[in-house]
């Protein structure tokens, strides 16, 4: 057997084909065709410059291999191969000692950290991914563009896009890429920007081929200003759909614990509507901790008020009204409820929104788990392994 080597790969299920990594790589080790973006094992020198620029984390994939996967292999993949068992049976007794230090460290890295390797729920519909690319995008027509927030300085929009007769199958929790028109400061076409879909699989309007996005206007944001200014009838170029793990289980008995901030509520809206459409207001089993600055800046505040508690147990928290409160603070207040959920093998956890919330949420889970004699890290890693722990933060 060849001495194992580490290989840098890109996850085709998560990658949004924005080619930022390819444009960043200083030695042209990354290339693409209409299907996938791939890393040339002959050229890549692990300089890591492509890692932080990737908007989805799909770039951060590594395998230890006896023979590197070829470009041809990588172009043919719809999903990444699992890490093969290395070394061989004889060498297995000595385990990682058989690998050189760098490789061992790499393996350890790949399996540690709160991010960890995401897995789809056990009972899940098969997502379609990457049907439309930057080279071959799907044109969609704007059907509606509604402001969701009353706060003057916080413009969040609900944007409905109609795909007409074009097949664009999506599942709740998936995202689409939006290509802003025009060129960037270097004269290159803009790269797609990723947005979570906030409508359920059968359409914003049931059985219509449309979907919705939840978009906050960002100062100087190229895509967000473009989207927030769209008028009914305008055409938008979409890529995707993307995402194969942050998905809702089909099992109607699964209990969902959803923790989100701001526009991170987009997939939670889709999950809630899915459950409501499948089993009416009785389906239950959904708990949400949702953080915003004020009620006036909380997307979907009005519609949420009408969702019955039998369907969704809501904990809306505000950081700039009354006593400052974050989602993780409210989780601590509701620790009995959270403790019950995290110990239930039917519970799926979804965290979506600001990257900064992750630490606080982890700390809350740690403390709540300890209060019932459990170790959060072990619980979380088991949940993730079973496709029951999902984090999507930007």
Query: 99-121 b/e with 16+ CB inside 10 Å = b?
Result: beeebeebbeebeeebeeebbbb
Contact flag: residue 262 with ligand NAP (CB under 6 A): yes
Give the C-alpha distances (Å, rounded to integers) separating 221 from 148, 151, 187, 228, 270.
18, 19, 17, 10, 25
Footprint of ligand NAP on 272-291 (CB under 6 A): 291
- Collapsing DSSP to helix, strand or coil, 375 comes out as coil
Contact flag: residue 173 with ligand NAP (CB under 6 A): no
Contact flag: residue 191 with ligand NAP (CB under 6 A): no
Please choose, out of 102-110, 203-211, 349-357, 362-370, the segment that lies near ligand NAP by the rule CB under 6 A.
Answer: 349-357
Contact flag: residue 263 with ligand NAP (CB under 6 A): yes
Contact flag: residue 353 with ligand NAP (CB under 6 A): yes
Cis peptide before 366 (omega within 30 of 0): no
Q: Record the tokens describing residue 244, joined without a space.
A: 């194969």
CA distance 10 to 79: 10
CA distance 305 to 256: 19
Contact flag: residue 192 with ligand NAP (CB under 6 A): no
Residue whose C-beta lies closest to ligand NAP: 262
SS3 letters across 87-134 = CCHHHHCCHHHHCCHHHHHHHHHHCCCCCCCCCCCCCCCCCCCCCECC
CB of 326 to ligand NAP, least distance (A): 4
Which CB atom, from 276 or from 328, has the smaller least distance to ligand NAP? 328
Which CB atom, from 69 or from 318, has the smaller least distance to ligand NAP? 318
CB of 113 to ligand NAP, least distance (A): 18
Contact flag: residue 354 with ligand NAP (CB under 6 A): yes
Which CB atom, from 99 or from 258, has the smaller least distance to ligand NAP? 258
- The size of the chain, in residues, is 394
CB 140 within 8 Å of CB 163: yes
Q: Which of 293, 384, 388, 390 binds ligand NAP (CB under 6 A)?
A: 293
CB of 268 to ligand NAP, least distance (A): 10
CB of 352 to ligand NAP, least distance (A): 5
- Collapsing DSSP to helix, strand or coil, 208 comes out as coil
Helix (H) or strand (E) holding 329: helix 327-333
Contact flag: residue 300 with ligand NAP (CB under 6 A): no
Size of the site for ligand NAP (CB under 6 A): 25
Q: Which of 21, 160, 266, 364 binds ligand NAP (CB under 6 A)?
A: 266
CB of 330 to ligand NAP, least distance (A): 10
Q: Which of 69, 242, 326, 350 binds ligand NAP (CB under 6 A)?
A: 326
Closest of 204, 197, 85 to residue 144, by C-alpha: 204
Which parts of this chain interact with ligand NAP (CB under 6 A)? 195-196, 214, 216, 261-264, 266, 291-293, 319-320, 326-328, 352-354, 356-357, 360, 392, 394
């Amino acid at each position: 057997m060849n001495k194992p080597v580490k290989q840098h790969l890109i996850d085709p299920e998560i990658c949004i084909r924005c080619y930022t990594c390819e444009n960043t790589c200083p030695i042209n080790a990354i290339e693409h065709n209409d299907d996938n973006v791939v890393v040339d094992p002959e050229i890549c020198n692990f300089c890591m410059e492509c890692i932080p620029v990737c908007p989805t984390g799909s770039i951060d994939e590594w395998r230890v291999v006896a023979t590197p996967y070829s470009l041809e292999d990588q172009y043919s993949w719809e999903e990444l191969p699992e890490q093969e068992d290395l070394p061989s049976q004889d060498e297995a007794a000595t385990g990682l000692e058989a690998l050189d230090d760098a490789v061992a460290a790499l393996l350890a890295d790949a399996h540690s950290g709160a991010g960890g390797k995401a897995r789809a729920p056990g009972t899940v519909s098969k997502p379609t991914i990457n049907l439309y690319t930057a080279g071959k995008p799907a044109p969609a027509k704007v059907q509606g563009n509604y402001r969701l927030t009353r706060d003057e300085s916080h413009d969040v929009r609900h944007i409905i896009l109609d795909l007409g007769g074009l097949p664009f199958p999506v599942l709740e929790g998936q995202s689409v890429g939006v290509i802003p028109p025009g060129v960037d400061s270097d004269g290159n076409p803009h790269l797609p920007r990723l947005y979570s879909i906030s409508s359920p699989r059968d359409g914003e309007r049931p059985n219509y081929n449309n979907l919705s996005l939840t978009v906050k206007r960002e100062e100087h944001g190229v895509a967000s200003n473009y989207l927030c200014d769209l008028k009914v009838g305008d055409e938008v170029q979409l890529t995707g759909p993307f995402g194969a793990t942050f998905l809702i289980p089909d099992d109607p008995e699964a209990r969902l614990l959803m923790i989100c901030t701001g526009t991170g509520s987009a997939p939670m809206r889709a999950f809630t509507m899915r459950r409501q459409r499948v089993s009416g207001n009785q389906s239950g089993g959904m708990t949400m901790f949702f953080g915003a600055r004020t009620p006036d800046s909380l997307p979907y505040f009005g519609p949420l008020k009408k969702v019955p508690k039998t369907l969704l147990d809501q904990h809306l928290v505000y950081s700039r009204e009354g006593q400052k409160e974050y989602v993780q603070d409210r989780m601590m207040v509701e620790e009995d409820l959270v403790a019950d959920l995290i110990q239930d093998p039917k519970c799926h956890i979804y965290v979506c929104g600001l990257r900064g919330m992750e630490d606080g949420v982890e700390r809350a889970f740690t403390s709540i788990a300890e209060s019932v004699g459990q170790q959060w890290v072990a619980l979380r890693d088991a949940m993730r392994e079973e496709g029951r722990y999902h984090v999507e933060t930007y």
